[in-house]
């Protein structure tokens, strides 16, 4: 890939494919203009291996190594919309940095993102990508997402990009009043996207789409 191509996002073809992706997300009912605009301008091809760059603007998950995947753009948009549906957020905790793509989208929509990943190699690459895109409002942690990031709690929004067998108690504890948690729960083929809101008393729980994510595993890994 030469520098000119890199700068413009693999040429004009890609510009058209990007527009097509945005149109498709819109047609599928995603309507938050801010979210769609951020997806339009974020170069997803920089978050996958060069060999897969030509597929970066398809609405599909793609492998990123270590048996993990970069989330499907539809899911990234959907979860971002759910998180932001009640208004702007200043502090968001993300569990499962992966490629850093969802992180990069959030970083352009909220004030600060705190992101936790258990695989160090993925985290390092994600960091490099965000620096390259001059996204500086992100703090990274290598650790176990089941525990959240208690030292910096509470958060106005928490997003989990891997499927948990149950809702981690630590994440509920770290939600600010009015805070919103978006999390896929379940195992194997049976997973449901949940939106959990911390109300004045207790939590409200909304069961949304059937989804398919890689599992939320236990413990950090070198």
Binding site for ligand SAH (CB under 6 A): 64, 68-71, 95-96, 98-99, 101-102, 116-119, 122, 144-146, 161-162, 214, 216-217
Q: Which is nearer to ligand SAH, 12 or 222 (CB)?
A: 222
Nearer to ligand SAH, 143 or 154 (CB): 143
b/e burial code for range 34-71 (CB count within 10 A of at least 16 → b): ebbebbeebbbbbbbeeeebeebbbeebbebeeebbbb
Q: Please identify the residue of the shown chain whose CB is closest to the bound ligand SAH.
A: 98
CB of 213 to ligand SAH, least distance (A): 7
Of the residues 14, 71, 80, 99, only one is catalytic, namely 71
Instruction: Produce one character per residue of 104-137: b if its CB has 16 or more CB atoms within 10 Å, e if not.
Output: bbbbbbbebbbbbbbbeebbebbbebbeebebee
Q: Note if 165 is an active site residue.
A: no
- 193 by Cβ neighbours in 10 Å (0-12 / 13-18 / 19+) ranks as buried
Shortest distance in whole angstroms from residue 65 CB to ligand SAH: 9
Q: What is the separation of C-alpha 33 from the centre of its chain, rounded to a whole number of angstroms?
A: 17
Shortest Cβ distance from residue 107 to ligand SAH (Å)?
Answer: 12
For ligand SAH, give the closer residue by CB, 57 or 146. 146
**Residues recognised as catalytic:** 71
């Amino acid at each position: 890939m030469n520098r000119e191509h890199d700068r413009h996002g693999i040429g004009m073809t890609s510009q058209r494919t990007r527009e097509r992706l945005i149109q498709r997300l819109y047609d599928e009912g995603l309507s938050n203009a801010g979210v769609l605009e951020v997806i339009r301008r974020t170069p997803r091809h920089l978050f996958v291996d060069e060999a897969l760059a030509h597929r970066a603007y398809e609405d599909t998950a793609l492998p990123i190594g270590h048996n993990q995947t970069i989330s499907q753009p539809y899911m990234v948009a959907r979860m971002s919309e759910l998180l932001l549906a009640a208004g702007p957020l200043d502090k968001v905790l993300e569990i499962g940095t992966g490629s850093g793509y969802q992180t990069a989208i959030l970083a352009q929509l909220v004030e600060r993102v705190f992101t936790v990943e258990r695989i160090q190699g993925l985290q390092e690459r994600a960091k490099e990508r965000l620096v390259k895109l001059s996204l500086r409002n992100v703090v990274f942690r290598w650790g176990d997402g089941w525990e959240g990031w208690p030292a910096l709690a509470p958060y106005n929004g928490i997003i989990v990009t891997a499927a948990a067998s149950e809702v981690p108690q630590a994440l509920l504890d770290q939600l600010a009043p009015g805070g919103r948690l978006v999390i896929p729960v379940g195992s194997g083929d049976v997973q449901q996207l949940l939106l959990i809101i911390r109300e004045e008393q207790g939590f409200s729980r909304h069961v949304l789409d059937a989804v398919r994510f890689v599992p939320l595993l236990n413990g950090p890994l070198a």
